[in-house]
């Protein structure tokens, strides 16, 4: 039975990787891109891949995540041009999944690309393997280094706007980076938080971790912010985010207890019915079971 569970899990992971590397991940065409103002000169753009942030600074624009492909990247740039004539000067990547980074190759030449060092390593490995990722000249040019359960925090000012870039431990991937605007009280979480499915997305093949997800999500929820823009889905309030983190933490504990009791994956999934355990990516029952039973 354990061998069968492992095979099922690996097939699910491979299916997820394949989708990430193809246009199949673009669930919405570029013409469905929607830009919403959050506060002052801060916006987010939904559609054409993961949510993207748009922050208009003194002489340039900072983008958080660059969409999935040429069409969606150019649409994002066109939407930015409607807001301001200022050029895009910086891109901050929340992680290395294709629907968040592949579009960067159609951004202006010379743009600074900021990411966590593990994100850059993941993209370098993907490039070497010949999988779908930005070319070598569009990999991160500035990195945030290190892991810490207490949080790694790099403060910087871009185009007159204050940013804090945060990383705790591997969660969604090994290269997650949370973008916090302290003056505006806005956080871009990347895919650590998603609101279009019940369970978090955790890429074990990129060294993600359900325990790391709890550590990271709890850290995000403690930030002095009011608006949390997820990697996919609708913006969350602080109260909504805290509730989501608490619910997921409790669910993970329950699943871990069932694994310790020797319950099969089928039994655990039956205890948590619904889309949380299905869909394109493995749910918490699959993830926690795999983490706790791997040799």
Give the domain ranges of the chain.
Answer: 2-293
Instruction: Note the CATH number of domain 2-293.
Output: 3.60.15.10
Residues 6+ positions from 16 with CB-CB distance below 8 Å: 203, 280, 281, 282
Q: How does pLDDT run along the chain (295 residues), one tens digit per residue?
A: 444 344 333 434 333 433 344 333 333 444 589 999 999 999 999 999 999 999 999 999 999 999 999 999 999 999 999 999 999 999 999 999 999 999 999 999 999 999 999 999 999 999 999 998 999 999 999 999 999 999 999 999 999 999 999 999 999 999 999 999 999 999 999 999 999 989 999 999 999 999 999 999 999 999 999 999 999 999 999 999 999 999 999 999 999 999 999 999 999 999 987 654 446 789 999 999 999 988 4
Residues paired with 115 in a beta bridge: 143
Dihedral through CA 8, CA 12, CA 18, CA 22, nearest 10?
150
Report pLDDT for 273: 78
Model confidence pTM above 0.85: yes
Question: How are beta strands 112-116 and 88-92 bridged, if at all?
Answer: parallel
Angle at alpha carbon of residue 173, lines to 114 and 113, rounded to 5°? 10
Beta strand pairing status for 42-46 and 34-39? antiparallel
Using CA atoms, how far residue 227 sits from 69, 70, 200, in Å, is 27, 29, 19
What's the rounded Cα separation, in Å, for the pair 82 and 34? 13
- Residue 104 and residue 27: Cα distance in Å, rounded? 19
d(CA 175, CA 81): 30
Alpha-carbon gap, residue 180 to 155, rounded angstroms: 9
- pLDDT of 34 reads 97
Picking from 171, 126, 124, the residue whose alpha carbon sits closest to that of residue 143 is 124
pLDDT at 119: 98
Reduced to 3 states (helix: H, G, I; strand: E, B; else coil), residue 254 is: helix
Of 36, 287, 32, nearest to 186 by C-alpha is 36
Among 191, 199, 213, 210, smallest CA distance to 274 is for 199
Return the number of other C-beta atoms located less than 10 Å from residue 155's C-beta. Answer: 11
Residue 171: closest CA among 193, 152, 198, 146? 193
């Amino acid at each position: 039975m354990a061998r069968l569970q492992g095979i099922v899990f690996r097939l699910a992971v491979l299916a997820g990787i394949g989708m990430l590397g193809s246009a199949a991940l673009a669930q919405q065409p570029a013409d469905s891109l929607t830009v919403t103002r959050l506060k002052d000169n801060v916006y987010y753009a939904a559609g054409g891949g993961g949510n993207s942030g748009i922050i208009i600074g003194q002489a340039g624009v900072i983008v958080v995540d660059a969409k999935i492909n040429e069409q969606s990247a150019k649409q994002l740039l066109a939407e930015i041009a409607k807001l301001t004539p200022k050029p895009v000067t910086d891109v901050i990547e929340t992680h290395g999944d294709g629907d968040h980074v592949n579009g960067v190759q159609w951004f202006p030449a010379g743009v600074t690309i900021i990411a966590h060092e593990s994100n850059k390593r993941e993209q370098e490995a993907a490039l070497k393997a010949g999988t779908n990722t930005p070319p070598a000249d569009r990999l991160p040019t500035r990195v945030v280094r290190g892991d810490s359960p207490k949080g790694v925090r790099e403060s910087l000012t871009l185009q007159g706007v204050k940013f804090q870039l945060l990383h705790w431990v591997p969660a969604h991937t090994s290269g997650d980076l949370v973008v916090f605007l302290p003056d505006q009280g806005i956080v871009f979480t990347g895919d650590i938080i998603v609101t279009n499915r019940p369970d978090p997305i955790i890429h074990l093949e990129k060294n993600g971790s359900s325990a790391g997800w709890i550590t990271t999500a709890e850290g995000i929820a403690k930030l002095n912010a009011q608006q949390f823009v997820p990697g996919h889905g609708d913006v969350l309030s602080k109260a909504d985010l805290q509730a989501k983190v608490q619910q997921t933490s409790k669910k993970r504990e329950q699943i871990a207890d069932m694994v310790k009791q020797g319950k099969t994956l089928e039994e655990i999934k039956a205890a948590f019915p619904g889309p949380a355990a299905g869909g394109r990516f493995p749910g918490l029952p699959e993830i926690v079971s795999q983490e706790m039973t791997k040799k």
